[in-house]
């Protein structure tokens, strides 16, 4: 197995962020899309991207355990560029929704990059390196909305997708020139590969617990973010949608903690990092409940605490999950992130319902319950 050079590590970091950003570009553009295609655009375009991303995690990411990941990443990014061009040229909502589905599927190249880094990294520094690559992925998630909103406001929504296609081609070139060739492992039949995911979930208790803890934290994260705009765009803050999107920039500071938590997980173990992450999230919701309806500074502090907690726990959980079965990191990644996305959708629903029924305190109560459950699971885990 080739070593992970600094050049390849930077390439994987850029690819992770550049690929995952594509499923979030559409969110600041929804008002423009609704104006052109009707109210259905607000449902079908973002849903298509997120559903497609989930399908990509389940259906494409495991292929990296049987095929050379460099080839898979380059192929997915080239196809992603085509899907983005198709979205930019869409004549109607049906075409745009279908293109969005394929954008989501192919953007799962981001989830090829992370296990590739874990595969190439030395055992003693795997957490730190995974943290560095995840910093790129998390930054891509957080900055995508800000960049897309700016470009869309000045050049229109179609320009966002065309520009994103150019970025995807650039990412494909980076992958082709910076990532190492890896020998093909013994090929597995696709059906056997999919069935082995269920086998791993059934036989690896550490994988199950890490996935559940992170999924509960991710659910609390989504409960917060889907309702944040509703809070800050209403009285007494009256921010615009662009102003609400700027809170994503604050979250980037939280993403920068990823390499630190990975380094700590390498030296002290993952469990204390996960516990600390859950405590950060609990503290965030306590602060937001106490003062989030009165002060934007309190809201900004809550954003920072949530992102530090979520990201720190995620890197620690990934570090221990990737160490379980070295030849199955893509499938382990699939179990972890598929569980997270299911709970994330439930958390978004619970947060929205809580806001409608009980306002901002209801959202904070949901966040505290979910993050508290994650803390209990982490504390009761065997050392």
Mean pLDDT for 106-116 is 90
Per-residue model confidence (pLDDT) at position 1? 54
Per-residue model confidence (pLDDT) at position 186? 62
Q: Cβ(130)–Cβ(262) under 8 Å?
A: yes
**169 pLDDT above the threshold of 90:** yes
Print the SS3 string covering the chain: CCCCCHHHHHHHHHHHHHHHHHHCCCHHHHHHHHHHHCCCHHHHHHHHHHHHHHHHHHHCHHHHHCCCHHHHHHHHHHHHHHHHHHHHCCCCHHHHHHHHHHHHHHHCHHHHHHHHHHHHCCHHHHHHHHHHHHHHHHHHHHHHHHHHHHHHHHHCHHHHHHHHHHHHHHHHHHHHHHCCCCCCCCCCCHHHHHHHHHHHHHHCHHHHHHHHHHHHHHHHHHHHHHHHHHHHCCCCCCCCHHHHHCHHHHHHHHHCCHHHHHHHHHHHCHHHHHHHHHHHHHHHHHHHHHHCCCCHHHHHHHHHHHHHHHHHHHHHHHHHHHCCCHHHHHHHHHHHHHHHHHHHHHHHHHHHHHHHHHHHHHHHHHHHHHHHHHHHHHHCCCC
User: What residues contact residue 100 under an 8 Å CB cut-off, 6+ apart?
Assistant: 26, 44, 45, 46, 48, 49, 52, 87
Query: What domains lie within the chain, and their CATH numbers?
Result: 1-186 (1.20.1250.20), 188-383 (1.20.1250.20)
**Greatest mean pLDDT range, 22-26, 171-175, 239-243:** 171-175
Nearest-angstrom CA–CA distance, 97 and 46: 8
Mean pLDDT for 148-172 is 91
Mean pLDDT for 320-327 is 86
Per-residue model confidence (pLDDT) at position 240? 66
Mean pLDDT for 344-367 is 89
| Range of lowest pLDDT (41-45, 108-112, 178-182) | 41-45
**2 pLDDT above the threshold of 70:** no
- 258-293 confidence digits (pLDDT tens): 777 777 777 888 899 999 999 999 999 999 999 988
**330 pLDDT above the threshold of 90:** no
Tokens linked to 327 = 């030849």
- 237-263 confidence digits (pLDDT tens): 887 656 666 776 776 776 777 777 777
| Range of lowest pLDDT (8-12, 80-84, 342-346) | 342-346
Best CA proximity match to 270, nearest among 378, 173, 149? 378
**78 pLDDT above the threshold of 70:** yes
Per-residue model confidence (pLDDT) at position 143? 79
**187 pLDDT above the threshold of 80:** no
**54 pLDDT above the threshold of 70:** yes
Q: How many CA atoms lie within 13 Å of 361's alpha carbon, on the beta-carbon side?
A: 2
């Amino acid at each position: 197995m080739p070593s992970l050079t600094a050049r390849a590590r930077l390439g994987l970091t850029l690819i992770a962020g550049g690929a995952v950003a594509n499923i979030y570009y559409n969110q600041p553009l929804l008002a423009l899309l609704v104006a052109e295609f009707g109210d259905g655009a607000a449902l079908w375009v973002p849903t298509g991207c997120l559903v497609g991303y989930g399908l990509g995690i389940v259906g494409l990411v495991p292929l990296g355990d049987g095929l050379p990941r460099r080839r898979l990443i380059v192929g997915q990014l080239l196809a992603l560029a085509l899907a983005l061009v198709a979205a930019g040229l869409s004549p109607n909502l049906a075409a745009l929704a279908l293109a969005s589905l394929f954008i989501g599927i192919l953007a799962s190249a981001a989830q090829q990059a992370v296990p590739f880094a874990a595969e190439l990294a030395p055992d003693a520094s795997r957490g730190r390196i995974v943290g560095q690559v995840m910093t790129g992925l998390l930054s891509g998630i957080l900055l995508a909305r800000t960049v897309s909103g700016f470009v869309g406001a000045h050049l229109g929504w179609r320009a966002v997708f065309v520009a994103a296609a150019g970025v995807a081609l650039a990412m494909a070139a980076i992958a082709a020139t910076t990532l190492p060739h890896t020998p093909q492992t013994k090929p597995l039949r696709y059906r056997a590969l999919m069935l082995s995911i269920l086998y791993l979930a059934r036989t690896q208790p550490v994988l199950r617990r890490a996935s559940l803890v992170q999924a509960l934290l991710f659910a609390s994260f989504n409960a917060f973010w889907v309702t944040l705009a509703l809070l800050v765009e209403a009285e007494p803050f009256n921010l615009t949608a662009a102003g609400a999107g700027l809170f994503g920039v604050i979250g980037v500071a939280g993403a920068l903690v990823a390499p630190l938590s990975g380094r700590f997980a390498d030296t002290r173990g993952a469990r204390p990092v996960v516990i600390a992450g859950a405590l950060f999230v609990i503290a965030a919701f306590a602060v937001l409940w106490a003062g989030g309806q009165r002060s934007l500074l309190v809201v900004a502090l809550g954003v920072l605490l949530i992102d530090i907690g979520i990201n720190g726990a995620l890197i620690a959980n990934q570090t221990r999950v990737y160490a379980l079965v070295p030849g199955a990191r893509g499938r382990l990644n699939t179990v972890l992130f598929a569980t997270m996305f299911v709970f994330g959708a439930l958390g978004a629903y619970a947060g929205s319902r809580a806001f409608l029924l009980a306002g901002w305190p209801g959202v904070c109560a949901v966040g505290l319950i979910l993050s508290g459950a994650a803390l209990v699971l982490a504390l009761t885990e065997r050392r």
